[in-house]
Amino acid sequence: MKIAVIGQGYVGLTIAVFAGDHFEVVGFDNNPKIVDQLNRGISHIEGVEGSTLQNRIKAGRYRASNDGVDIADVDLVVIAVPTPLTSDRKPDLDFIDAACKTVGENIKKPVLIINESTSFPGTLRNFIKPAIEKYSKDAVEHLFAISPERVDPGRGDYNQKNTPRLFAGLTPEASAMTREFYSKFCDHLVEVSSPEVAEAAKLFENTFRQVNIALVNEFAQIAHSLGISVYETLDAANSKPYGFMKFIPSAGVGGHCIPVDPTYLAAVAEEHGAPATFIRRANEVNLEMSRYVVDRVVADNGGSLAGKSVLVVGVAYKPNVADVRETAEEVVID
Ligand SMILES: NC(=O)c1ccc[n+]([C@@H]2O[C@H](COP(=O)([O-])OP(=O)(O)OC[C@H]3O[C@@H](n4cnc5c(N)ncnc54)[C@H](O)[C@@H]3O)[C@@H](O)[C@H]2O)c1
């Protein structure tokens, strides 16, 4: 079986490499620089070794491309493109739409199309399927499924193989084929009753983190005002073996997921007349943390940083990643 993975970033390249053990993979990316680099066996993503990529290329199991013709004969498509926010912080599905255009215009036989990009419930059914059908010149009956990606960049203990994977098809046939595909390189598949449940679960996972990070960030401020160490207090609370999960205060959240995904959930909630109070407030608390960190540094340095050099250590949102998208440190440095 030949597959195409649209988008060769953190999610898409990782999937392309894991799937490459079992399938011939075309890694489609509209950035020619990335395509050129990948075809030379150079990986730009932590966790994907250049040597693995080179082996796949040598074995004829991987090729990057930005030419739609190269995906015309695939049997299965995985979409893994960015889902950012617009400048007024609304869900931006433009990249998904462009990926649908590539698929719709180039694939003329029925295939299974799996979306791995994070988006709000209803995206597969009400956006991706109609978009691909709109861009196809001939009426093609594709199968559609969702399997939200859970990759945690820079992490060694969990990967595609041992991280349980959620999935759901728009039809039973799509679900069955999706299971068959992922079961080749993932040990634990969790099928849910509809694509909307899978889409919502992914957003809720990241919203859970966002809200808890905001809570601990607020608690850091409370602890400071009480003159006690937030770290010692959190360690003390963490000695409870159940009912508590430790989060660590920070200058805010970063990366493509936690600062963005909860806003997708809030947007769809509000569109349906449901409250998203926690999500909105958590976002504000996290956004305000950079200012708070700077105020603390200023206060600890005689009330002014004028004429002083400041060393900022750690710019990405967590250790061992190079991803500085949405980083709170940018605000701190400003
Ligand atoms: N990074 C993570 O840890 C992570 C984890 C889980 C889910 N996700 C989700 O996965 C999706 C992709 O995220 P990512 O971090 O891999 O993004 P990324 O920016 O690392 O990679 C996206 C790639 O898609 C390419 N691209 C953009 N539009 C394209 C198009 N129309 N056709 C072909 N290629 C196109 C870009 O050039 C880029 O290389 C997002 O929805 C994100 O929320 C990300």
DSSP string, 209-243: HHHHHHHHHHHHHHHHHHT--HHHHHHHHTTSSSS
Question: Torsion angle, CA of 9/15/21/25, rounded to 10 degrees?
Answer: -60
Strands laid side by side in the 143-146 sheet: 62-65, 24-28, 2-6, 76-79, 112-115, 143-146, 165-169, 189-191
Token pair 């808890």 is found at 212
| Ligand 1 centroid – CA 278 distance (Å) | 27
Contact assessment for residue 175 and residue 142, using Cβ atoms and an 8 Å cutoff: no
Which residues does ligand 1 sit against, CB inside 6 Å? 6-12, 28-31, 34, 80-83, 95, 98-99, 102, 117-118, 149, 151, 153, 256-257
Least Cα distance to 245 among 201, 208, 289 occurs for 208
Taking every pair of Cα atoms in the chain, the longest distance, rounded to a whole number of angstroms, is 70
Q: State the pLDDT at residue 230.
A: 98
Q: State the pLDDT at residue 20.
A: 92
Nearest CA to ligand 1 atom 1: 10
100 is catalytic: no
pLDDT of 182 higher than 90: yes
| Ligand 1 centroid – CA 256 distance (Å) | 9
Instruction: Give tens-digit pLDDT for 209-243.
Output: 999 999 999 999 999 999 999 999 999 999 999 99
Residue in 149, 205, 258, 263 to alter for ligand 1 test, most ligand atoms within 8 A of Cβ: 149
Q: Give the position, in ligand 1's atom list, of the atom nearest the Cα of 118.
A: 41
Instruction: Give tens-digit pLDDT for 243-284.
Output: 999 999 999 999 989 999 999 999 999 999 999 999 999 999
Residue in 6, 26, 29 to alter for ligand 1 test, most ligand atoms within 8 A of Cβ: 29
With a CB cutoff of 8 Å and minimum separation 6, the contacts of 159 are 18, 47, 151
| Ligand 1 centroid – CA 119 distance (Å) | 12
| Ligand 1 centroid – CA 261 distance (Å) | 13
| Ligand 1 centroid – CA 82 distance (Å) | 4
pTM across the whole model: 0.95
Least Cα distance to 151 among 212, 85, 214, 78 occurs for 78
Q: Give the position, in ligand 1's atom list, of the atom nearest the Cα of 148.
A: 7
What average pLDDT does the segment 108-113 reach? 97
Contact assessment for residue 114 and residue 181, using Cβ atoms and an 8 Å cutoff: yes
Q: Give the position, in ligand 1's atom list, of the atom nearest the Cα of 6.
A: 33
Residue in 13, 65, 74, 81 to alter for ligand 1 test, most ligand atoms within 8 A of Cβ: 81
Confidence of residue 47 (pLDDT cuts 50, 70, 90): confident
Nearest CA to ligand 1 atom 10: 117
Q: Give the position, in ligand 1's atom list, of the atom nearest the Cα of 261.
A: 43
Percent of the chain whose predicted confidence (pLDDT) is above 90: 91
Confidence of residue 156 (pLDDT cuts 50, 70, 90): confident
Q: Give the position, in ligand 1's atom list, of the atom nearest the Cα of 31.
A: 37
| Ligand 1 centroid – CA 241 distance (Å) | 37
The catalytic position among 38, 223, 257, 258 is 257
Mean pLDDT of the chain: 95
